[in-house]
Structure 1
Amino acid sequence: MAEVNRVAVLKLLGGLPTKPPWPSGRCIFRVPSTIRRHNEYVYDPQLVSIGPYHHGHERLQHMEKFKRWYLRCLLDRTPNPECNLSRLFEVIKSNAQYCLDCYSEMEEDTIIDIDKFIVMVILDGCFVIELFRKQAGVLPRHPDDPIFTTSYMRKILLSDLMLLENQLPWFVLEVLFDLTSSHQERGNTSIAALALDYFGFNTIRRGSIDPCTIPAVKHLLDLQRNNITYATKSPERAGWNPIPCVTKLLQLGVRLEAGESSEMMDVRFDKGVMRIPPIVILDNAESLIRNLIAYEQCDGTCKDKITSYAVLLNNLIQSGTDLDYLRVSTMTLT
């Protein structure tokens, strides 16, 4: 019996990992089921897969043709003498483990062949960069490119590229941009500037971040979060005290007015007046906000800035009357 126990103990000991299950560099997460259950639709791409989590899904295969077309156009353009497919492959492969470590749930059988992972990263990354270049006018748009001639594709892409599960490490976008841009382009712009231009006036409020002084970025969703929250001061103390809804605040004599600050979360209360900066709510606002909240809940290095703002609005809006008052007094809805 003792020998059996010894064998069992040794077998268990041999199966115990020596490293944490998640790498320290993880920043791209699968949305937990406890968050996803509230509205699964807003976390899944509808048109294009970026990164490994949704790669290969049948309903997203149509866009793979566009990725290959964009890469072919890029290679034929040869903006940089050092830009060729072999060079792109070499650089990404030398950093493949770093890229893999950015994903929180990359099981051993998720990627069968590391070369396939690298090909996916190159296709996805170059597609995103070329998309940004075309939007900014750096490159001409083909007259038969439906991405720019059909409004529904532009609209869906704006949402798909902001999904937490649909991200590439920022390092990949920076490296591919540097390798595929001319000296003149690198001197005139950056991947951060192109990305901010592409998303333009986002579905909540335009941020004020300067792409030249941008803090460390992990991926496109993180860039959008930085753009919205960069100037927002973190609270001095933790905790949250619920506040009454708009209707009750009005009954208590509190006035609500549109704030003059350009910062979305610069909500102020002074001498009985709550000032809330106006925001714009477009069709994909829910998707963006929910993915930002999911990101903050998954990444331990993120403060709950977007989450706190959402909780504030959730407290203020308890009825259609509350929403109507805010719409008239503080917000712009389209």
Structure 2
Amino acid sequence: MPLMQMVPLLMKEENKEDYEPKVVSFGPYHHGNEKLKFVEDFKPTAVQMFIGDNRNEADFMAAILGEIEYARSCYLEDVTCRYTDIEFAQMMLRDACVILNYFGPNIVDKSYKEAETINHHLGIAVYSSIRRDMYLLENQIPFLILEILVALRYKTPRHSFIKAMERDSFKMFFNGKNGMIEHAEANDDLGKNPAHLLEIFRRVIVRGPDHDPILRDNECGCCNVNDMLTRLEEGCGKCCKDDENEEWHGSQYVFRSVTDLKSKGIYSKASGIKSLKGVRFSPTRFCRSAELKLPFMYVDMYTRVFFKNMIAYEFSPNSHIIDKSVTGYVSFMKLLVVTEEDVKEMRENKIIINSLGSDDDVVQVYKDLNTYEAGDTSYFWNVKKDIEDHYHSKIRTWMAEFRTTYFNNPWTIIALVASLFLLCLDIVQTYYAIHPVPN
């Protein structure tokens, strides 16, 4: 089974443009497309930009030819049979140089000149669209080819190049100031040999930092009534939960959006965790409402294309991905983002950065993403379960309503305290009226 998969026809039938390149082809699947000729003509220039004036292109071709059998085996044989080894190696060299000039070893002066040169030849609209075409499942080249060229050009170890690409990808997706990725687990995929650039992108957004810079639940200094509420629910039985939703089936959710959750006392908040797994749910406490913490996400003109191809990658036969975290995240967000009010709420809470313009455009992005009703075995399943339990808990809902009614602004707090004070005075006055103090 080749590493570079084609997108299933079922997915392409919805909107095949989201799976096809707009300006540049990488690899053989879309090579030779007439509409991509503009950037294709630029590729020899990209090769010279990368190898420099003091190196010979033949050296780079020879290095690729040394791995040509592996490179061919990454694609469907029906496609690679159209090219000789020399033609295929030249395609790999040119495509890799376009990627490495756009997104490669970060040398400040050189990077600025490369961007300026590419802009001069292609224009800024085409230049920015190259990033979009890097997201496509069918538009990938073996990561080994990139490693070979970088090692030959810069004499850098393979491991350091992978780390550099992970760091730069992290900065691109999460706008990290230092671009550092923390290894969440000893056995995670960070630093390991990827099949292609799309795998680097996925591991960065999924396997990023997993710690919470905000206080954890057990670090809150206020009174935790969670255990008390749980015991009350167990004692009250059916009266504490909606009768018709007593059993939770794991795949059907009653809550439908961020504003719907807010009506039940569950408020959304930015988690500060730069990873798609940066989702935390904190149940109702006496001093604050329940919180759903979500990682912030840029939504721009390429978001739909990125997630569609990432879902296709997670469902591809040779991906070896067991935990479909990106698909689980998209499925979760489709529950939360239903109306413009939901987007507004998340935008005001700095969860969504909207680069599209209107909030309705963001809603449409998530509507266009199809998860094909895949069974959710990801990290988000437990979060949905906790939210659903809280959503149907009448005791927690009453507490949220009580807090909203009486503790949402200083005037209601003052009125409540004054009422309690007057009630205490009435009780004391009544007591002494019945039991007068002897002279």
**Which residue is 2:303 aligned to?**
285
Residue type of the alignment partner of 1:102:
C
Q: Is the 8 A contact 1:141 1:148 kept in 2?
A: no
Which one has the bigger helix percentage? 2
Q: Structure 1's 146 and 225: CA in aligned 2 closer, same or farther, altered over 3 A?
A: same
1:88 to 60, 69, 74: 60
Q: 1:50: how far off? A: 0.6
Q: Distance in 1 between matches of 2:159 and 2:83?
A: 40
Q: Structure 1's 294 and 262: CA in aligned 2 closer, same or farther, altered over 3 A?
A: same
Residue type of the alignment partner of 1:215:
K
The answer to whether residue 263 in structure 2 is matched with residue 251 in structure 1 is: yes
Stretch moving more, 190-199 or 215-224: 190-199
2:139 to 155, 160, 166: 166
The answer to whether residue 248 in structure 2 is matched with residue 241 in structure 1 is: no
- In structure 1, runs of 5+ residues without a counterpart are 1-22, 234-238
Stretch moving more, 166-175 or 324-333: 324-333
- Alpha-carbon RMSD: 3.2
The answer to whether residue 353 in structure 2 is matched with residue 332 in structure 1 is: yes
Residues 34-183 of structure 1 correspond to what in structure 2 (within 5 A)? 34-78=10-54, 83-103=55-75, 105-107=76-78, 110-132=81-103, 136-137=107-108, 139=110, 141=113, 145-146=118-119, 150-181=123-154, 183=155
Q: Structure 1's 151 and 196: CA in aligned 2 closer, same or farther, altered over 3 A?
A: farther
The TM-score, its normalising length taken from structure 2, stands at 0.60
Which secondary structure does the structure 1 equivalent of 2:103 belong to? helix
Q: Structure 1's 188 and 149: CA in aligned 2 closer, same or farther, altered over 3 A?
A: farther
Q: Structure 1's 232 and 296: CA in aligned 2 closer, same or farther, altered over 3 A?
A: farther
2:192 to 215, 223, 226: 215
The answer to whether residue 291 in structure 2 is matched with residue 268 in structure 1 is: no
Stretch moving more, 218-227 or 265-274: 265-274
Q: Structure 1's 147 and 269: CA in aligned 2 closer, same or farther, altered over 3 A?
A: farther
Q: Distance in 2 between matches of 1:45 and 1:57?
A: 9
Q: Distance in 2 between matches of 1:161 and 1:174?
A: 17
Higher relative contact order (CA 8 A, sep 6+): 1
Q: Distance in 2 between matches of 1:268 and 1:210?
A: 18
Q: Structure 1's 199 and 61: CA in aligned 2 closer, same or farther, altered over 3 A?
A: farther
Which secondary structure does the structure 2 equivalent of 1:50 belong to? coil
The TM-score, its normalising length taken from structure 1, stands at 0.77
Q: Structure 1's 138 and 261: CA in aligned 2 closer, same or farther, altered over 3 A?
A: same
Q: Structure 1's 135 and 157: CA in aligned 2 closer, same or farther, altered over 3 A?
A: farther
- In structure 2, runs of 5+ residues without a counterpart are 184-189, 211-248, 284-289, 356-439
Q: 1:173: how far off? A: 0.4
Residue type of the alignment partner of 1:270:
S
Deviations 1:149-196 (A, max 9, x none): 843123201111121111111111001111122x4x669963651575
Q: Which structure would you say has the larger Rg?
A: 2
Q: 1:317: how far off? A: 2.0
Deviations 1:69-108 (A, max 9, x none): 1223445522xxxx533332333223222112222x3316
Residues 22-33 of structure 1 correspond to what in structure 2 (within 5 A)? 23=1, 26-33=2-9
Q: Distance in 2 between matches of 1:263 and 1:116?
A: 40
Q: Is the 8 A contact 1:147 1:153 kept in 2?
A: no
Q: Distance in 2 between matches of 1:210 and 1:270?
A: 24
Q: Structure 1's 42 and 332: CA in aligned 2 closer, same or farther, altered over 3 A?
A: same
Query: Percent identity, aligned pairs only?
Result: 23
Q: Distance in 1 between matches of 2:62 and 2:193?
A: 25
Q: Is the 8 A contact 1:245 1:322 kept in 2?
A: no
Q: 1:201: how far off? A: 2.4
Deviations 1:258-315 (A, max 9, x none): 2232333211112132111222212211111111111111144112010000000111
Stretch moving more, 266-275 or 288-297: 266-275
Which secondary structure does the structure 2 equivalent of 1:107 belong to? helix
Residues 5-20 of structure 1 correspond to what in structure 2 (within 5 A)? none
Residue type of the alignment partner of 2:344:
D
